[in-house]
Amino acid sequence: MIGAVSSGVSGLSDLFGDDEEQPSAETELATALEVVRNRRRRLVLRLVADLDVGESMRVRDLAHEIAAIEQDDDPAAMPWSESKSVYVALTQNHLDKIAAADALEIDDSKRDDHVLPGPALDAFEALLDDAADYFERGEP
């Protein structure tokens, strides 16, 4: 599995430059795995990856989409109150971890916070695809 996972992380090393304080491949892998370890963070990565170039999404809308996925419900039919706990978890925990790994950016210059793809999102998307392929093959 390490081969499958590390291939998705290979793009992350380009983000850190060539200075002496560059994180090791092991550190990059550990950071990437910490980000994708949580289901809500994986959902955030997938939803942000679906955005068009230059497009952003309100954090409130992101929370509502994730709550609908988790509850297997139609977002249009679901009241906002069902999304509050997801919103709180995203803003107090998950989004900062994903942003610290450069997979998304948080734009707080607007009235409501927005998220948009970060420079490392493609590498995380490849990591998620590799992991999904690995588990679909049924390997231990």
Tokens of 128: 């998620």
Highest mean pLDDT among 12-16, 117-121, 135-139: 117-121
Tokens of 15: 């983000």
**Which tens digit of pLDDT belongs to each residue from 50-94?**
999 889 999 999 999 999 999 999 999 999 999 999 999 999 999
Average pLDDT for residues 99-105, to the nearest whole number?
95
In angstroms, the first-to-last Cα distance of the chain is 9
Q: Tell me which residue of 107, 104, 43 sits closest to 75, measured CA to CA.
A: 43
For the chain, what's the residue count?
A: 140
Compute the distance between CA of residue 32 and CA of residue 135 in angstroms, rounded to an integer: 18
**Which tens digit of pLDDT belongs to each residue from 6-38?**
445 555 555 555 555 666 778 888 888 899 989
Question: What domains, with CATH codes, occur in the chain?
Answer: 2-16+23-136 (1.10.10.10)
pLDDT at 14: 54
